Amino acid sequence: MLQHLIETQQFDREALSRLFSLATSLENKRERTLDGKILASLFFEPSTRTRLSFESAMMRLGGDVLSMENANENSSSTKGETIEDTIRIVDNYADIIVLRHPEAGAAERAAKVSEVPVINAGDGTGQHPTQAFLDLYTIQREIGRTDGIHIAFVGNLKYYRSSRSLAYLLGKYNDIKMTFVAAPELQVKDDIKEYLNEKKVSFEQTEDLGATMKAADVVYQTRMQKEWMSEDEYNRLSKQFVITRPMTDAMRDGAILIHPLPRAGEIAPEVDDSPHAVYFKQAGYGVLVRMALLKTILNGG
């Protein structure tokens, strides 16, 4: 039984396959299966999609929600309370805790003291596993397979926790090719490269976005993150890999452009009605995947 969800490596292919089937079966459904259960969302960093889609998922399953947004300012952490003490309190109030925190490793620290399941909703530059699940679900829904994929990760690969989580997750699939398109100083970190070598996943690093977009099945764009980058890095690099309509028009038939969102100029607005652009649909799939996850964890699956 899954207790806490801290990183994508915890899930194997069979578990993901079950999760995705359950997610699809929950489309347009409202249930009372989690009636009486309470979800506490503790967000020490800003969020639109993750917090609201988890809360929407819980409500669609008949559960209730305690929500603390802006917890870095509104919780007793401002009085010096540690994350461990906060969790020791909140686990009295809820059956499951969804935690976003600016420190890598915070979700693991929370899980060590929690009496209820903890879901990592993003820990600094660490991981964002539920985002990776919905990214992979989007690939399965839109491309029709999760093996034999050529995926290009673009832009901010050093700091972006969601792309890190998906790269780890795709290491479990067959015949995957990854192209990392980034400036040398924002390239993917050594832990990912070591993992991919261990899993014998083929990958290359390049700055040629145009050629890569013509070849890939999935293009995964990322946001340049002022919150983690130095001002110099941001000013020099934030406009290097903007995706425009001519670039998506040159993509292969059936290829998709995904992005966890929010975006901040790295996909031009005229791309939105391209048949390749699925990032808004992707955000919608987040509710289904999170419903499936809550049901799986709280019903002891």
**Contacting ligand CP (CB under 6 A), which of 8, 50, 179, 282?**
50
Interior/surface letters 216-237, b for 16+ CB within 10 angstroms, e for the rest:
bbbbbbbbbbeebbeeebbeeb
Residue 119 interacts with ligand CP (CB under 6 A): yes or no:
no
99 binds ligand CP (CB under 6 A): no
Other Cβ atoms within 10 Å of 83 Cβ, number = 21
Q: Give the residue among 102, 93, 138 at the shortest CA–CA distance from 120.
A: 102
Which residue's structure tokens are 């539920």? 130
Known catalytic residue at 79: yes
Report the distance separating Cα 281 and Cα 95, nearest Å: 29
Interaction between residue 70 and ligand CP (CB under 6 A): no
Of the candidate residues 83, 98, 149, 261, the single one contacting ligand CP (CB under 6 A): 261
Site for ligand CP in 149-208 (CB under 6 A): none
CA 239 – CA 25 distance, rounded (Å)? 40
Running DSSP on this structure, what letter comes out for residue 11?
A: -
Q: At its nearest, how many Å lie between ligand CP and the CB of residue 180?
A: 20
Residue 10 binding ligand CP, by CB under 6 A? no
Scanning 2-10, 41-49, 149-157, 265-273 for contacts with ligand CP by CB under 6 A, the matching segment is: 41-49
Among candidate residues 30, 32, 79, 200, the one labeled active-site is 79
Residue 138 near residue 131, CB atoms below 8 Å: no
The tokens of 45 are what? Answer: 């960093």
Radius of gyration of the chain (CA): 19
Q: Is 263 in the site for ligand CP (CB under 6 A)?
A: no
The residue (of 7 and 201) whose beta carbon lies closer to ligand CP is 7
Q: Catalytic one among 109, 128, 164, 295?
A: 128
| Closer of 26 and 261 to ligand CP (Cβ) | 261
Per-residue x/- track, 204-243, ligand CP (CB under 6 A): ----------------------------------------
Q: What is the per-residue DSSP string for 28-46?
A: T----TTTT-EEEEEESS-
Residue from 47, 140, 221, 238 that binds ligand CP (CB under 6 A)?
47
Using CA atoms, how far residue 146 sits from 36, 51, 214, 252, in Å, is 36, 27, 19, 17
**Which residue among 63, 117, 124, 260 contacts ligand CP (CB under 6 A)?**
260
**Is 126 near ligand CP (CB under 6 A)?**
no
**Which residues in this chain contact ligand CP in the complex, by CB under 6 A?**
47-50, 122, 128, 131, 260-262
Instruction: Report the catalytic residues.
Output: 49-50, 79, 100, 128
